[in-house]
Amino acid sequence: MRKQQRADHLLLRLEELYPETPIPLDHISPYTLLIAVLLSAQCTDIRVNQVTPALFQIADTPEKMRLVPIEKIREIIRPCGLSPTKAAAISKLSEILVEEHDGKVPQSFDELEKLPGVGHKTASVVMAQAFGVPAFPVDTHIHRLAKRWKLTSGKNVIQTERDLKKVFPRESWNKLHLQIIFYGREHCSARGCDGKTCMLCREVNSKI
């Protein structure tokens, strides 16, 4: 199979396997999604979903969050790891949203990536899942699978994102990145597959 043939095959198979793609992080607004994605850095979605109810109970808007002492935020989010850095970022970005964006999450990659604690991957998730803007957030799971499926030779997530955007149609990106994450967690984990074991690895790599 050529690269484009593998991509076309994967697109069809992932749609068969995961026709529905619920957003893994619980949220009620673009702001709470932004905070949840920020917390998910080096932390599982399950753990984030266990922590955010207590956080959002005391503050689910930037107007409320900016008034919460950083020490209190840190105490609540401690199970997510990196709590000093994340708490400071949550507090500061909430202040910026109020002062510079009328308390709203900006619908712009550039403006999102200017916020403390918000990198390109986090901005991509928010743009895709909160605002429906085509984006292809690439985390370590997607990077690993893209390499196993011979869709990229990229040494980092930035190059992998570029390569995936070339072989998959723009209208599929928002759903597809979740489908790949779901598949990786269920069938093609870092230790559970060597690139030849799971069904999709076997299918796309058998005729390279």
State pLDDT tens for residues 100-147: 999 999 999 999 999 999 999 999 999 999 999 999 999 888 999 999
Q: What is the CATH number of domain 30-131?
A: 1.10.340.30
Class of domain 3-22+136-205: mainly alpha
pLDDT tens for 7-53 read: 999 999 999 999 999 999 999 999 999 999 999 999 999 999 999 99
Catalytic residue among 3, 64, 86, 139: 139
pLDDT, average across residues 168-187 = 96
The domain segmentation of the chain, as residue ranges, is 3-22+136-205, 30-131
* pLDDT for 180 beyond 60: yes
Q: What is the pLDDT of residue 207?
A: 59
For this structure, is 121 an active site residue?
yes
Mean pLDDT of all residues in the chain?
Answer: 95
Please state the three-class secondary structure of the chain as a single string: CCHHHHHHHHHHHHHHHCCCCCCCCCCCCHHHHHHHHHHCCCCCHHHHHHHHHHHHHHCCCHHHHCCCCHHHHHHHHHHHCCHHHHHHHHHHHHHHHHHHHCCCCCCCHHHHHCCCCCCHHHHHHHHHHHHCCCCCCCCHHHHHHHHHCCCCCCCCHHHHHHHHHHHCCHHHHHHHHHHHHHHHHHCCCCCCCCCCCCHHHHHHHCCC
Question: Does the annotation mark 194 as catalytic?
Answer: no
Give the pLDDT score at 102. Answer: 97
